[in-house]
Amino acid sequence: MTVVEIVVVGAGVSGLTSAICLAESGRPVRVWAAAMPPQTTSKVAGAVWAPPRPADRAPETLGWIEHSLQVFRELADDPASGVRLAPAVAVSELTAAEAMSAASAALIPDLRPADPDELPAGFGNGFRATLPMIDMPQYLDYLTRRLAAAGCEIEEHPVQSLAQAADSAPIVVNCTGLAAGRLAGDDTVRPLFGQHVVLTNPGLQQMFIEINSGPEWTCYFPHPQRVVCGGISIPNRWDTAADPEVTERILARCRRIEPRLGESEVIET
């Protein structure tokens, strides 16, 4: 019987990615999960590669974002991955230096200031670039297949503590997200509630991202069959139920920026 050296707890994008890196390097790995990948919050992410604002960035993260960008560019060559390089317009109330560090900007070869006629009404600053955009349901399927090809199992195996996982393996990788607070006995782990609205795609190709310092912003990420619209961030909200008032605000903001979304059917909130 193979000795299990590592247990990864959690099967969202962080757990799957961690397990793949370990399994493809030859380490025996299992993934224990309370929810399988399609049931995780990873499935409903936007999602796009973008550098954090300098105010939010720890010094070591530049290496992380540079490596992630390289990997996503490689994945974009595989249509099955769900990753593609897409045109983006980003607008901001922040100055260029506040929105992105010079080192981060240097990673994006076609980054340029947006012309005034490329900006929606009400926005004076913005830029254009080609960025990796990820179709999360497809990407999670891709990661699950890649993990299986590396010989790793995903087990529906809820745990009550990290110590329980440590009884089965000398190394435990904690990728449980919000549940990490309960499993590790750390009450400083708090939720950050987000919500998206998913619409049918009326033919959009370009993503739109608003960068601001407030709790709500406008963004939309067009995938082949749908558009993921956002966004909002509410600290310390534990439930995951969609708020109808938030839905209406997201729709109003996104449809103001892109009127074609007014013709789209709401698929999911």
> Do 209 and 183 belong to one domain?
no
> Looking at the structure, do residues 6 and 117 belong to the same domain, yes or no?
no
Which CATH number does the domain housing residue 148 bear?
Answer: 3.40.50.720
Domain span holding position 45 = 1-78+135-189
Distances (CA, A) of 190 to 7, 8, 238: 24, 21, 8
* Residues in CB range of 160: below 8 A, 6 or more apart: 183
Task: Give residue-wise pLDDT tens across range 144-161.
Answer: 999 999 999 899 999 999
Please compute the mean of the pLDDT values over residues 17-27 and round it to a whole number: 96
| Residue 174: φ, ψ to 5° | -90, 105
Q: Looking at the structure, tell me whether residues 109 and 212 fall in a common domain.
A: yes
Residues of the chain with pLDDT > 70: what percent?
A: 96
Angle at 233 between CA 263 and CA 51, to 5 degrees: 90
Whole-prediction pTM: 0.93
Q: Are residues 14 and 117 in the same domain?
A: no
Which of the residue ranges 96-100, 134-138, 178-182, 226-230 would you say has the lowest mean pLDDT? 96-100
Provide the domain count of the chain.
Answer: 2
For residue 219, give the CATH number of its domain. Answer: 3.30.9.10
CA–CA separation, 65 vs 71, rounded Å? 10
| Average pLDDT of the chain to the nearest whole number | 92
Among 167, 185, 184, smallest CA distance to 175 is for: 184
Q: What is the pLDDT of residue 212?
A: 85
Residue 175's SS3 state is coil
